[in-house]
Amino acid sequence: MIAVDALVEQVISYNPKSDSDRVRAAYDYGKMMHEGQTRHSGEPYFSHPVAVASILAEQKLDDDTIITALLHDAIEDTKSTYQAVEERFGEEVAQLVDGVTKLTNLELSSNDNKQAENFRKLLLAMSKDVRVILVKLSDRLHNMRTIRHMREEKQLKKAHETMDIFAPLAGRMGMQWMRDELEDLSFRVLNPEGRNSIIRRFVTLRKETGDVVTQITHDIQDVLDKAGVEAIVFGREKKPYSIWRKMEEKKEGFSRLSDIYGFRIITAEEDDMYRVLGAVHRRWTAVPGRFKDYVSQPKSNGYRSIHTTVSGRDGKRVEIQIRTQAMHDVAESGVAAHWSYRNGERAENPFAVDPFSWLASLTERVESSEDSDEFLEHVKLEMFADQVFCFTPKGDVIKLPRGATPIDFAYAIHTRIGAACVGAKVDGRRVPLWTRLRNGQSVEVTTAEGQRPQSTWMDIAVTGRAKSSIRRALRDEHREGFVRLGQELARVALEHVGKKASDKALNTAAAHLGLANRQELLAKMGSAEMTGTELLEVLYPELLRKKGDEPDQPAERIIGLSADQHAQPSDCCQPLPGERIVGIATRGRGVLVHTIHCERLVEYEASPERWIDLHWSQGHREASHLATTHITMANDSGVLGRICTLIGEQNANIADLEITDRKQDFYRMTIDIEVRDVEHLMHVMTAVEADSDVAQILRKNRNR
C-alpha cells in the first residue's frame, strides 16, 4: 500500500500549494474507517482508495479530487456518513463522495429499463461535477488491474461492463490512454486466448524484423532534423485489443494488417505541425483516405491533432499523429485537463474543454427522448460512437457517429427535413439512402411534400435522434390499432391469473415501467415491444412463481454478529432482507438492526464504538419479516376482503390490521404484513396499488 508520505509528495510534485495536512487527514480518516476490511487478494481494503488517489494524482488533479478518492468507499462500505465527511472535509468533498457512492450502486450492465434510468443518473452525476466520473473511472481502472483476485463469474461481469460502458466513456472524455488500458484489461478476461495470440504474433514479428518501433522512430527523427524542425518523436505497438478489433472489422489476419504501429510527433508551435506534415509526406507516400485534420475540426472533447498514415520502412504502413504539447496534454487527459494543476495553479490550457459545456453538448440530443429505449439508444450513440464530420451545401458542419447515413444527416438538420427525405446527393452524386457517410463529404438532402418516414428506415438509420423520430412517426401512424390490440392482449394475460385489465391496474403498471400512461403501455404491447408475461411480472410476480423455485436450504438471517450477540429489527425503520443494514449495540436489548438510511442513526453518531457492520445472507427465506403499510381505500362492501385476498395471493401473511380513519367514502388502515424481503414487499404493494378501489399504499415512515 502506498504510504501517506509518498502520496503527499506525488501531489506536491505538481501542486506545491497543496494542503498536505488536509490530504494526510483524509488518508488517516479513510484508513481508520476501513480498518479490518480486506480485499479479495487479502490486502488491506484501504490500499484500493489510496491506489485510486495515486491514479488521479498522475493526472495532476486538485486536492478535493484526491481526498474524494481516499474516501470514495467510506460512506458505502463503512460506518462513516455524509455528515461526518462534510464536517471534516467540507461540502464539496462530501458531495463528490456521495456522487461516487451513487454511481457505484448503479447497475449499468443490466438489460432492462433499469439500465436506461441508471444512465440518466450517470449523466445527472456528471452534470453536477465531472470529477465524480474521473474518480469512478480511476476506481474502475484499479479494480480491473487487480481483477484476477475475483471469482470468475464476477470477473466476466465486470469486464463486460467495463468494455461496454467505462472504456467508451473514458474515450468519449478524451482519456484515450485510460480507454486503451481498460479495453486491454477487459480483453484479457473476456478472450485470453485471443489476446495471447496477438502477443505471440508480436513476439514472432520482433524476432523476424527486429525492433521496428525504434527503427522507424529514428527514421522520422532524421527526416525532421534535415527539415530543421524541432520535435519529439515516440512510437509504440498498438494494444492487443486494438489489433484484435481491426482484425475483426477488416476480416483480415494479423499478417495482412498494416497499421499495427502508432507514432506521435510533439511540436512546440502549431505552425511546426504543418512543417512536420510536409516533411513526412515528402519522405514517404501518404495512404489515400487516411488523413484527418482535427485541428481545424476539433472533437467535442477538445481533442486536436493531425492524423496521417504513410508507407514507411519496408512498405509498412505507419500511423502518425502530429500535435503541440498543449494539444498532447488534452489528448492524454481529455476533459480532466480542465482540472489539472501545475506549480500550484490551475493549468491554463487553451485547448481544454470546459466540462460543463462538453456535458451540455453531450446531453443536448438525449433530453428529448420520451421512453427509456429511445433514451438508451441516444446515450450509447452520443457517448460512445466515433464521429464523422459532413457538410451541408452552405458549408455548415454536421457531426454524426461513424456509419451514419443520409437519413441520419437529414434528421440531424431538422426532424421535418428527415421525415420528408426522398433522396440525397453526396459530393454532387446521387446515392442510395443507406450509403455510409465519410469524413469531409458534402451532403445535399432532397425532400418532397407528403413524404412520410418508412419502416425500412429503421434498418438504415444509426443515430438515436433519427431512430426515435422514425419510431415515433410510425408509432403515431399505427397507434390506435396498437392500443386496441394491446388492450386485448392485456385482458387475456390478466384473466389467465384471475385478474381484470382495469384502467387502475394498467396505469399502475405503466408508472412502474416509467411510461406516461396506460395508452403508452398498451401501444407497446400491441406493437410487440412488451409481452403479457412482462405485464404480469410487474403487477403480480408472485402469481407466476412455481413451487420448487426456491432453494431447499434456508438462509441465515444476519451475518456480522458474534456468538454471544442476538439481533432484533428496530421498529423505527423495520429493516428487510435486501436493504443495507447496520447494528447498534444496546444494553439489555442486544443489537438493534437499522437500515443504513434510518433517521434514528443520527442519535448514535457520537458513539462509533456501538456500530456493528451487518449484512443479510443469501438464500431462501420464509415470509417472517414484518413491514407496516398504510392504505387508503374506498369505503365499499367487499373492498377489505379483496385486499386481504390480494395480499395472500402474493404469498404474504397479514400479522395485524387496524382501521385508523373511517369516513363515509373512504377509510385508512394500517396493515402489518410478513414478507420474505424488500423485493417481496414491493410485489405486494404493487398488487394492492393496482386494485381500482385503492387510492394509496405507503410503507411506514417511507415515501413510496
Residues that are catalytic: 76-77
Q: Which residues contact 247 (CB under 8 A, 6 or more apart)?
A: 253, 254, 257
Which residues are bridge partners to 697 per DSSP?
Answer: 631
Question: By C-alpha distance, which of 29, 25, 31, 22 is closest to 2?
Answer: 31
* CA proximity to 302, closest of 267, 277, 337, 269: 337
Q: How far is the C-alpha of 96 from the C-alpha of 89, rounded, in Å?
A: 11
- The Cα 474–Cα 458 span in angstroms is 10
| Strand pairing class (317-324; 261-267) | parallel
Distances in Å between the Cα of 141 and the Cα atoms of 55, 146, 199, 337 are 9, 9, 22, 18
Angle at 69 between CA 65 and CA 70, to 5 degrees: 120
Alpha carbon dihedral 435, 440, 446, 452, in 10-degree steps, equals 60
Region for 352 from its dihedrals, namely left if φ exceeds 0, alpha if ψ lies in -120 to 50, beta otherwise: beta
| C-alpha cell belonging to residue 236 | 509504440
**Distance of alpha carbon 415 from alpha carbon 638, whole angstroms:** 53
Collapse the DSSP code of 123 into the 3-class scheme (helix H, G, I; strand E, B; otherwise coil) and give the result: helix
* Strand positions, DSSP E, 421-546: 421-426, 429-431, 443-447
CA trace torsion 421, 425, 431, 437 (10° rounding) = -90
Dihedral sign for Cα 690, 691, 696, 698, please: negative
